[in-house]
Amino acid sequence: MQVATSRPPETIELDGAFNARIVAWYDDGHPRLIRSSALDHLTQNGIHELTRLGVTTIIDLREPGEESPRQFPGIRTVSVPLYHLSEGAPKTGELASIYRFMLVQRGNELAEAVGTIADNTNGATLVHCSMGKDRTGLVVALALLCMGVPRNSVVDDYATTERSLSSSMRNDILMQIALDAPEEPLRSQTVSMRLTSPASMMSAICCGLESVGGASAYLCSHGLDDVKLGRLKNTARKMRRLSILHCSDIHAGAGEGAKPDVDGLEALDRVASYAHALDLRPDVLVCTGDLIHKDADLYPRVVEGLHGLAQSLDVPLVVVPGNHDDFDEARHLTNGALPSLPYRLRVAGYDFLMLDSSEGDVSESQLVWLRRQLRNPDAQPAVLVLHHSPVPSIMPSLAKVALHNGGKLGEAMDSGVVRLVLAGHYHHAMCGVFRGVPVCVAPSLAYEQEMSVGPEWVSCVPGASFFVEELYEDGELRTTMVPMPPQEPVLFTVRAGSSTHRERRVESK
């Protein structure tokens, strides 16, 4: 079981909030736990930052009636009030007594809040109260201790809050304290309660927790179960939504001579404009083979185009060879810009496993490698990438060009880790299921199959398309084909949301 590593908190800017920082990460480097002040006054830029950070759950620790809680699109907000006092959150008092009250009287609520953090395993959780100091500080400390973060790091994070308060904010708080606690010694106690987060306080809390077996034992005694405790200790993210831009069969050079209308390189150059027009934000760019038609000298141009597209989308690139390709020569001519296969690339919590089927099958050595990858204790949900589909085409003339040893591939896949298979080769779009796993065969960027020519022929016509595959957390898959037609006259253009139907005339009576 992986445990959290000691990594210092990272201060972040949330426009409209303060005291914001990332305090825990997943093992892939994405934020796991964030703390801040209340989000009631978050600006649009602040909301965009929540999205960028991958926040999927917000835990609001405030009492009913404290300010005006907000809901944010696509983010679940969970209210876990800690005090449950008729007068609301304490405005005056001694800092130590506040923590003593929460730990002794509100253990169940603390366990609920930490359990909510544990339940969110596919995104970041943001915890806040009003200032993000005491209630937030205690919940975050308990969660970090359960994650295995060293005690000194927990203490340091707690003490950071006091240093993060601006002078203007301190003055505002002091003015409010003058109204809430005008007399001594209550005034001095309240200043300490509202403005300080001494390391000695969190050290004392940690010592107290250790006397009862630690934070985990304390929370379990108040309702946190072993399953949630295990989730806290595991730093791997749960399978999340995965978006793939999938192109195939570029066939660079196929347009020379007999096929002047075919230009896969030109189509590749156009993919970026379609992706940006559709506001696509893929996690990865995949190309499933046949980079060239015959001319190996075109490999550098194709690979340059693929890398350029990946850079414009700010995503990693996954490439496998097709039956028209010599991948060793491609690697040589591009100075090793393509990986030696088989190869694994981890993207967004998924293992992309690249196989060479350029001879029509997957070699035995690759199958051995695949079994080993899928049975590795560190294995993530997997996406297989190869040129030949294990599912045959509907076209009789293509019936014999599916993967020759699909049965052996299926046997190697029996671990249950594979979530998706990506392929090409057919020059027509197709989706199927193989051994219970979805298979997506992308259309070509060079030319398309003419589907009506009969069983004895293969005929192709100009056309270029690509796929966008979106695999969701629950296993649901949405596949969209994006055609890129030649520049023909546009039939009509209307404003989005309007109708192309003739308007109904309403006669006055």
Instruction: Tell me the domain boundaries of the chain.
Output: 10-233, 242-483
Confidence of residue 459 (pLDDT cuts 50, 70, 90): confident
- Is-contact 20 31, C-beta < 8 A? no
- Is-contact 428 443, C-beta < 8 A? yes
Average pLDDT, integer, range 85-91: 83
Q: Is the pLDDT of residue 333 over 60?
A: yes
Q: Which residue did the predictor score with more confidence, 116 or 496? A: 116
The dihedral formed by the CA atoms of 312, 313, 315 and 321, expressed in degrees to the nearest 10: -80
pTM score > 0.75 for this model? no
Q: What is the mean pLDDT of the chain?
A: 87
Residue 462: closest CA among 450, 448, 451, 452: 448
**Digit-coded pLDDT (tens) for 287-304:** 999 999 989 999 999 999
Q: Tell me the C-alpha distance between 169 and 407, whole Å.
A: 67
Average pLDDT, integer, range 24-37: 90
**Residues near 294 by Cβ (< 8 Å), separated by ≥ 6?**
253, 324
Q: Is the pLDDT of residue 257 over 80?
A: no
Q: Which CATH superfamily is 10-233 part of? A: Protein tyrosine phosphatase superfamily (3.90.190.10)
Confidence of residue 487 (pLDDT cuts 50, 70, 90): low
Q: Is the pLDDT of residue 107 over 60?
A: yes
**Digit-coded pLDDT (tens) for 436-447:** 899 999 999 998
**Digit-coded pLDDT (tens) for 33-64:** 999 999 999 999 999 899 889 898 999 999 98
Is it true that domain 242-483 has CATH number 1.10.760.10?
no
Helices (H) and strands (E) in the chain, counts: 15, 19
